[in-house]
Amino acid sequence: MRAYVSLPLGLVIVFGLFWLMQWMIRPSDRHAVDAATVVEAVEMVEVKPDDASPEEMEAAADEPPPPPAAPPSLARPDLPTMSFPASAPVDAGPIKIPAINTSSLGLGGSSLNGTGLFGGFAGRGSGSGSGSGSGGGFGKGEGFQGKTLIPLSTARPQMPEWACKQGIRGWVEVVFTVMPNGRVSEVKLIDADPRGVFEAAAIESVGNWIYQSTGKARMVKQRVQMDPEDCIYNWQQ
């Protein structure tokens, strides 16, 4: 009788345990089903390919970019356009020392005549002439009656720039009048070596010399040496 009762009771207990285990496992299966359901709910978007073919894309890449827009003109419309012709290159060529010329040296122009320093050219004869023009004044020979005076103050000649660059050396011989107050006037040219280079500079320099006042006018003959080393004393313009 006990055996009949214990056997069905044991089966009930076993089935109860299996059912309990199944019930405990069922929640994990629910989560898996829910996750699968969520994944299936995602909407998949298909990317449509570009309608342009590869050949068309390569052709578009090879085309040059469009030119930039032109900037607005900065010129004022009310002003005329000025055009200047291009200057031709100047070839100076070798510099030659010309013969003495009053117009080229400025001896007969307004640059020295305006100051009253240049008195013309002294003659080469043995006698003395009159007047202040060319050929007048005392000559270079025995007829010169002047007396050598020592100046109290001298001015350095302003050497021509082109002569300084070529290192030209020479001298200029002049005759002039020392006034009673010691100032120089009527500077006349006798000779120069080389000619056409230093005459104007020598006359302007001698015209600024100062002698001792003697109370009477005197004639003086002077040779002015021109040395390229004196070019450093030229006035800077």
The three-point CA angle 51-54-56 to 5° equals 75
Domain ranges, ordered by start, for the chain:
102-233
Note the pTM of the prediction, 2 decimals.
0.42
CATH number of 102-233: 3.30.2420.10
Q: What string of pLDDT tens digits covers the 237 residues of the chain?
A: 676 778 888 888 888 888 888 888 875 555 554 555 555 555 666 666 666 666 777 776 777 777 766 555 444 445 555 555 544 444 444 434 344 444 444 444 334 444 455 555 555 543 333 333 333 333 333 344 445 678 888 888 888 989 899 999 999 999 999 999 999 999 999 999 999 999 999 999 899 999 998 889 999 999 999 988 888 888 654
φ, ψ dihedrals at 102, nearest 5°: -65, -35
